[in-house]
Structure 1
Amino acid sequence: MNHRLLALVLAGCSLLSLAPALAGQAPRAASSADIPISRTDRIYAADQFSNTVSVISPADNRLLGVIRLGDPQPANLSPLYRGQVLVHGLGFAPDGKTLAVVSIGSNSVTFIDTATNAVKATTYIGRSPHEAFFTPDGRELWVTVRGEDYISVIDAATYAEKTRIRVPAGPGMQIFSPSGEYGYVCSSFTAETVAIRLGDHQIVGRIKQDSPFCPNIAASPDGRQVWLTLKDIGRVMVFDAKPPFNVIRTIDTGPLTNHVNFAHTMTGDFAYVTVGGLNTVKVFRTDNFEEVAAIPVGQLPHGLWPSGDGSRIYVGIENGDAVAAIDTATNRIVAQIPVGQAPQAVVYVANAVPQGDGTTGLQPLGVAAQATHLTLSPVDASTASRGQTSVSLFDQGLTQVLQAAVAGLEPRKPYILGLAERADGSGPIEPLASFKTNPAGSAVVNAVGPIRQVVRDRTGGQARYLVIVPGTVSEHGDPVQVQSRAS
């Protein structure tokens, strides 16, 4: 080989060593090529209280519109109502052509054509389904029926339920190994996750959960690890993705730990975890489990998903009606995109719209864009480090759905969210909702009514103030958190 040719070969090797390695992002295998962000990609967010799916273009971080699957209250209270209620879970086919949307309140899975935003079919299944995902070969959709004890397996060609797989009661979420060998199903009611062999739908492994409330689970693209979240105790568990499925690590993450997902970057593989009580996304290395970042993102982060090249992580901000875009190179927010009410699951679908602008059938946000955000702060300043409560009032017309992301209270204790006559919380308390905190001193509390009119607008009557008091309706103590005067 002459010197000139040798120099060219060495230069080529040098350039190759500097080029980014191709590695697939979740849920694809690491051996898949990265897919750069483009105008053919879409981000979808399931909007629980507006019963919509928000559709975002990641190329310019812009909301294109919403797919309206149902109506707000009180229309959805009618016995003749035919739309969906509590739009919550999302999954997508491997070819990116079909989006599966789970609605908890109407026990349904809606199949949407990603190119046209049109509903292709709706399948009704068991009580309170939670999440859905397609098998890696695209032939089946597995849906966790959290109100019962099975996975509903739906034929992706006919949209009909073909079989059921019995699992521990209250299955919360399922995901698959990138190889397509196993499905992993965690539980929201039972302290056990199971590994299921896809070939024959048989349970081949059982993993003990540290608590019975797992809402989310994810498999790393390299096929080595499975991470699950435990919302009630604020923890993630990591176990080996292959038999005997041994637990590798547990990590305390914080109150209201919600979802987890992965991104492969130039500096390594990372797990991103949403922690609602701290309003952050925590970032961990997957090799040594070191926490490398805690990113403030807004009130009650929920679902998240990486872009097709791992350069971005998109996070649904449940009590902020937004999707935040995180640059994985810097772990900083680079965009906040308004969406429908209380986004839950978020997915990123590469090449969802191969041709055209993909806006057919989309509608504007409308009433879904209206929400009021409040904060309840500790009465005792010495407990401020424990956290505070964020409250969103999602407009439904004359009424609102109140959702409080409660944090900073005593664990496993009964409390009341109510209305007080005075700003300091004194005077009689009118209860709105009773609740009990989880082991992390947190809870998510809901109520419905014309609440904004008395705590924010304060027109046409006496003003009231949101408070949290310990105890029960029949016997309670003094307020421990009160509505901030700035609210």
Structure 2
Amino acid sequence: MNIRTSFAASLLAGSMLLPFSAFAGQAPFADSAPDIPVSSKDRVYAAEQFSNTVSVTDPATNQLLGVIKLGDPQPGNLSPLYKGQVLVHGMGFSPDKKTIAVVSIGSNSVTFIDTATNTVKHTTYVGRSPHEAFYTPDGKEVWITVRGEDYISVIDASTFEEKAQIKVPAGPGMQIFSPDGKYGYICSSFNPETVVVTVADHQIVGHVKQASPFCPNIAASPDGKQVWFTLKDIGKAQVFNAQAPFDLIKTIDTGPITNHVNLVTNKNGSFAYVTVGGLNEVKVFRTDNFEQVATIPVGNLPHGIWPSGDGTRVYVGLENADAMAAIDTLTNKVIATIPIGQAAQAVNYVPNAVPEGDGLQNLQPLGTAGVAAHLKLEMKGDKVNKAPTSVSLFDQGLTQVLQASVTGLEPKKMYVLALSEKADGSGPLQGLSSFMTNPAGSAIVNAVGPIRQIVEAKHKDERRYLVVASVEDGKPGNVLQVQTAE
């Protein structure tokens, strides 16, 4: 018996003496990686795009420790002399768990942060509107999807400099890697095609047809057999074979504004957790027969999601709630809701991120980054089919960034978010933002202004109410959704 075979046999024999999950392995690592129990050495990070912060949470206590400030809110970030980051959004972490890479869409940047000290080590600027970042399993490269263009920026992890570009279909959304480091899987946000690239030589070796053009997120299973990706515009998730010929295995209806997916292995089996923003839910599916086994209400507009190092929990960023939900994966119940910054996007759970010390260096209090008002809209006159349209007003000084997660409308039609003098939407309307719904009848709508002061005005002559109306001849038409108490 050779040494390699003997070592493999020893591992197998040892694993038989341990609980099922002891060598289960959690994404993005292989199933041979040992589980890491939740402890105060772990950290949960969320990228927050309107406060331009990264929140840092201790999962042992489910308490926010503070935020890493990467930039300023408006109007400070509008200055031509502004040097901070804008629209902090995507996130990935190194295999040694010592660095997180944080993508800022508006400033075309990737910020590398030391997990032990919360110190910014370097900022690399790439092409237009990057979206997500992740390290190759060997830790040598960081791949950045440059969604505003048509390539992957390959960053040398030691020098933080771009070393190559990989040409892909325009609008790459996110990339993730096979646990063995052989393949990179890159979905598209602008074209209905996912490509498979060999990590060693950066060559495209596979193509997977997406059911729609808008994929924001992708995950690979620790056993190296499946890749899951989400389709935000049509409310579906798709699964394909992680090995050649990379054939499609399953398409699953998930719901409007399907955001992120991640994979969890625990003593009950292997599961995919999918955030469905338009329903304010996380849906859970088995990865063997794709049966839906749970629906978990979590709060307004769930977005990023990541498992703990032992698969006993997943953490979910709530984009329209300034919060993060912790879910126990054995009961599929929310066990904590943690206040964080504005409009959480990507979430990473990094086991053993702080091996020594308290890890509180360079953290700042949440402060104004956690200030927001929350409203909701419901279908006018419909007491049964209430559309869960959530609205957040994120404070930016005297103004706010309004974000509405609009659902329950007809697909691919023009509407307008507007202000009305009357609570029922009658009378003249003042348009804030026109939008077209996606094929699932939903949309994310943004506006900027002193809107909170208007919708919360004490004097009835000054107060206005948010509504959603159809667009007729370029003007607001019938009011379909009206503001109600949150």
Report TM bin, short chain.
over 0.9
Partner of 1:87: 88
Partner of 2:289: 288
In the alignment, the residues of structure 2 paired with residue 276 and residue 458 of structure 1 have an alpha-carbon distance, to the nearest angstrom, of 32
Q: Classify 1:472/1:202 alpha carbon distance in 2 versus 1 (closer, same or farther; 3 Å).
A: farther
Partner of 2:3: none
Secondary structure, aligned partner of 2:454 = helix
CA deviations over 1:67-109 (Å, ceiling 9, x no partner)? 0000010000000000000000000000000110000000000
Partner of 1:366: 367
In the alignment, the residues of structure 2 paired with residue 319 and residue 483 of structure 1 have an alpha-carbon distance, to the nearest angstrom, of 16
CA deviations over 1:135-180 (Å, ceiling 9, x no partner)? 0000000000000000000000000000100000000000000010
In the alignment, the residues of structure 2 paired with residue 256 and residue 19 of structure 1 have an alpha-carbon distance, to the nearest angstrom, of 35
Cα distance, 1:21 vs. partner? 3.9
Q: Classify 1:155/1:76 alpha carbon distance in 2 versus 1 (closer, same or farther; 3 Å).
A: same
Percent identity, aligned pairs only? Answer: 69
In the alignment, the residues of structure 2 paired with residue 146 and residue 14 of structure 1 have an alpha-carbon distance, to the nearest angstrom, of 42
Partner of 1:186: 187
Partner of 2:393: 393
Cα distance, 1:454 vs. partner? 0.6
Cα distance, 1:19 vs. partner? 6.0
Q: Which amino acid aligns with 1:95?
A: D
Cα distance, 1:39 vs. partner? 1.1
Please show how residues 257-336 of structure 1 align to structure 2 within 5 Å.
Answer: 257-336=258-337
Partner of 1:455: 455
Partner of 2:73: 72
Cα distance, 1:458 vs. partner? 3.8
Task: Compute the TM-score of the two structures, normalised by the length of structure 1.
Answer: 0.95
Cα distance, 1:134 vs. partner? 0.2
Q: Classify 1:455/1:308 alpha carbon distance in 2 versus 1 (closer, same or farther; 3 Å).
A: same
Partner of 1:7: none
- Is 1:468 aligned to 2:468, yes or no? yes
CA deviations over 1:328-385 (Å, ceiling 9, x no partner)? 0000000111100010000000111111100000000111111100000101417x53
In the alignment, the residues of structure 2 paired with residue 430 and residue 154 of structure 1 have an alpha-carbon distance, to the nearest angstrom, of 47
Please show how residues 220-239 of structure 1 align to structure 2 within 5 Å.
Answer: 220-239=221-240
Partner of 2:413: 413
In the alignment, the residues of structure 1 paired with residue 197 and residue 294 of structure 2 have an alpha-carbon distance, to the nearest angstrom, of 33
User: Structure 2 unaligned runs (5+)?
Assistant: 1-12
Cα distance, 1:462 vs. partner? 1.1
Partner of 2:432: 432
Tell me if structure 2 keeps the 8 A contact 1:214–1:228. Answer: yes
In the alignment, the residues of structure 2 paired with residue 131 and residue 460 of structure 1 have an alpha-carbon distance, to the nearest angstrom, of 45
Cα distance, 1:266 vs. partner? 0.3
Partner of 2:423: 423
- Is 1:381 aligned to 2:382, yes or no? yes
Deviates more, 1:461-470 or 1:277-286: 461-470
Q: Which amino acid aligns with 2:422?
A: R
Partner of 1:8: none
Tell me if structure 2 keeps the 8 A contact 1:378–1:388. Answer: no
Tell me if structure 2 keeps the 8 A contact 1:293–1:331. Answer: yes
In the alignment, the residues of structure 1 paired with residue 259 and residue 74 of structure 2 have an alpha-carbon distance, to the nearest angstrom, of 26
Secondary structure, aligned partner of 1:313 = strand
Tell me if structure 2 keeps the 8 A contact 1:54–1:340. Answer: yes
In the alignment, the residues of structure 1 paired with residue 323 and residue 21 of structure 2 have an alpha-carbon distance, to the nearest angstrom, of 31
Query: CA RMSD for the aligned pairs?
Result: 1.6
Secondary structure, aligned partner of 1:79 = coil
Cα distance, 1:122 vs. partner? 0.3
CA deviations over 1:195-250 (Å, ceiling 9, x no partner)? 00111000000001000000000001110000000000000010000000000000
Q: Classify 1:473/1:370 alpha carbon distance in 2 versus 1 (closer, same or farther; 3 Å).
A: farther
User: Structure 1 unaligned runs (5+)?
Assistant: 1-11
Q: Classify 1:200/1:14 alpha carbon distance in 2 versus 1 (closer, same or farther; 3 Å).
A: closer
Q: Classify 1:27/1:69 alpha carbon distance in 2 versus 1 (closer, same or farther; 3 Å).
A: same
Please show how residues 173-212 of structure 1 align to structure 2 within 5 Å.
Answer: 173-212=174-213
Q: Which amino acid aligns with 1:423?
A: A
Cα distance, 1:22 vs. partner? 1.8
In the alignment, the residues of structure 2 paired with residue 386 and residue 460 of structure 1 have an alpha-carbon distance, to the nearest angstrom, of 26
Q: Classify 1:301/1:31 alpha carbon distance in 2 versus 1 (closer, same or farther; 3 Å).
A: same
Q: Which amino acid aligns with 1:194?
A: V
The number of residue pairs the alignment matches comes to 474
Tell me if structure 1 keeps the 8 A contact 2:111–2:120. Answer: yes
Q: Which amino acid aligns with 2:426?
A: S
Tell me if structure 2 keeps the 8 A contact 1:416–1:473. Answer: no
In the alignment, the residues of structure 1 paired with residue 201 and residue 425 of structure 2 have an alpha-carbon distance, to the nearest angstrom, of 59
Cα distance, 1:23 vs. partner? 1.2
Task: Compute the TM-score of the two structures, normalised by the length of structure 2.
Answer: 0.95
Q: Which amino acid aligns with 1:127?
A: R
In the alignment, the residues of structure 2 paired with residue 458 and residue 29 of structure 1 have an alpha-carbon distance, to the nearest angstrom, of 57
Cα distance, 1:386 vs. partner? 6.3
Tell me if structure 2 keeps the 8 A contact 1:41–1:58. Answer: yes
Tell me if structure 2 keeps the 8 A contact 1:434–1:473. Answer: no
Please show how residues 69-148 of structure 1 align to structure 2 within 5 Å.
Answer: 69-148=70-149
Partner of 1:57: 58
Partner of 1:249: 250
Secondary structure, aligned partner of 1:480 = strand
